[in-house]
Amino acid sequence: MNFVSFVQAVTPPILLHAVRRLRAQWNPPAENPYGWSGDYASWAEARALCTGYEKANIAEKGLAAALAVKRGEAFCERDTMLIRSPRYEWPLLACLMHVAARSGGELRVMDFGGAFGSSYFQNRVFLRTLGQVRWGVVEQSHMVPMGQKHLQDEQLGFYATPAEAWSAVRPQVLLLSGVVPYFEKPYDLLRELLAYPFDFVIVDRTGFTAEDRDRLTVQRVPPDIYEGSYPFWYFSLTRFEDCFAGAYEQMCKFRALDRATIPAEFLGLFYARRKG
């Protein structure tokens, strides 16, 4: 046994933990420039530091990834990155299948901010077992024609507004997967969407602060995905849940796949409309 091993063997664990913590303070790891950071007073302040979604290559890269998935060259895509082997988000899939089970095997979804159908393609193996599926993606105006031309079929459709999707799909469930934090006025967005009488609402991949307050950050995307940066809200869980109080009952809460780079966590929330 060498000297270091001997010291570790005879030193109480609580002292070893204290030494490691002090060493980390003396030699802190290099700051990760990507992920979420900052605590900004206004959207304008955060937006001035960002590139935004305007770059056309982001949409083109996302479409190319979605087409590769549709052709069977990858299992799914997430944020334009191809995922080759099966990778399910089981809590989200369970919520979707619950909705279908409550409706005799029929699933009609308004996927607000759903890119080029990322969640649809990720879950299509299971969706194929259902009697009827209509999946309406609501996206930015420059992305909708791309989706309609290259990806739309009898199940998957693309729409520029919630009103268009509501009229065409008559959805039972609203899916908000990682989209609400990117809006300047997220609570106004929620009020607008919840004005439609959805039977169910699924919120996924949404960040909530440890301090239970709204915090405005900037997200910087790693360049191996694409070059981009955006204002991004982490929410007060209490305030966010209050948006559903009264009309909806929370069925469950679950950990989402993202990991925060500030004191926060990503969660999913599943709501059912209260009877009456």
In this structure, the number of other CB atoms found within 10 A of the CB of residue 149 comes to 10
Q: Give the model's pLDDT for residue 174.
A: 98
Give the position of tokens 């955006």: 230
Q: Give the model's pLDDT for residue 111.
A: 98
Q: Which helix (H) or strand (E) holds 115?
A: none
Q: Give the model's pLDDT for residue 224.
A: 78
Q: Give the model's pLDDT for residue 32.
A: 62
Where the chain has pLDDT below 70, the residues are: 1-32, 53-56
What is the secondary structure of 188-225 as a DSSP string?
A: HHHHHHHTS--SEEEEEEEEEETTSS-EEEEEEE-TTT
Q: Give the model's pLDDT for residue 21.
A: 44
Q: Give the model's pLDDT for residue 27.
A: 41
Q: Give the model's pLDDT for residue 20.
A: 43
